[in-house]
Amino acid sequence: MKCASIDCSCEELTATDPCVVCGRGVHHICSNELYDSGALSERFCSASCLYQYKTVTSPPSGALESGFEAQEMPSSSSQVSQSSTSSGVDVYGIPLEIIHFRQQNSRHEVWEMAHRLATPVSKTTGQDMEPFTHICLLCAQQLTCNTFAGPSAWEGAVHRWSNTSNVKSHMISLHDDHPLGMAEASLKLKTATRH
């Protein structure tokens, strides 16, 4: 059976288990990196399903054992964070209310992973309250697929980039294991050795 994980490297396996959120089949091996340490038997096919499970579906720990139903706790976090949990997230763990797109008139492929925000956003926590204009999809995915990530973890992926060289530097320094980061690092090394 075909695995729903986008990073599936085990096409030869036939046995799949259903994702606890969407029900699509996922290989046990492919789901291993997306698990909650307290519940090894739960399967997730993507970071967005894990995020949705943790923020919308999952009852508080101990609620199932004691027989109590999950209750929604009031929160003092921002409006963006509250609405993001109620309406879902995209495959990168970014709330659906946050509209982002590939920067127009930018030909370099780094802009496939560094999107412009339709409306600049400010972080709900921290010192820097100046609006951010861009979001790194790779950062967002890494931050939100962490088992202990909160609903506003995606905010760590927002940036202010004015040109392509800033995005290239970001890819080289933080995403050197991604094909785009490796390509940029290789190109930078070739340029440095040529001069």
The pLDDT assigned to 120 comes to: 92
110-129: string of b/e by CB count within 10 Å (b at 16+)?
bbebbbbbeeebebeeeeee
The pLDDT assigned to 80 comes to: 40
Boundaries of every domain in the chain: 17-56, 100-193
Residue 80 structure tokens: 């963006």
Question: What stretch of H or E contains 189?
Answer: helix 179-194
Question: What stretch of H or E contains 119?
Answer: strand 114-121
Residues 6+ apart with CB under 8 A from 110: 164, 167, 168, 171, 180, 184
The pLDDT assigned to 56 comes to: 56
The pLDDT assigned to 15 comes to: 82
Residue 9 structure tokens: 């490297």
Question: What stretch of H or E contains 135?
Answer: strand 132-136
The pLDDT assigned to 51 comes to: 66
Q: What pTM did the predictor assign?
A: 0.54
For residues 111 and 167, the answer to whether their CB atoms sit within 8 Å is yes
Residue of 77, 93, 84 whose CA lies nearest to 156: 93
The pLDDT assigned to 76 comes to: 30
Give the phi and the psi of residue 18 in degrees, each rounded to 5.
Answer: -75, 140
3-class secondary structure, 102: strand
Burial (CB count <10 Å: 0-12, 13-18, 19+), residue 34: buried
Q: Tens of pLDDT along the chain (195 residues)?
A: 678 777 777 777 778 888 777 777 877 777 766 665 555 667 777 777 776 666 654 444 433 333 333 333 333 333 343 333 445 888 888 888 889 898 888 888 888 889 999 999 988 777 777 899 999 999 998 898 877 888 888 999 999 988 888 888 898 888 888 888 888 888 888 888 876
Q: What is the DSSP string of 137-174?
A: HHHHHHHHSSTT--TTGGGGGEE---SHHHHHHHHHHH
Torsional sign, CA 49, 50, 53, 54: negative
| Pairing of the two strands 132-136 and 158-159 | antiparallel
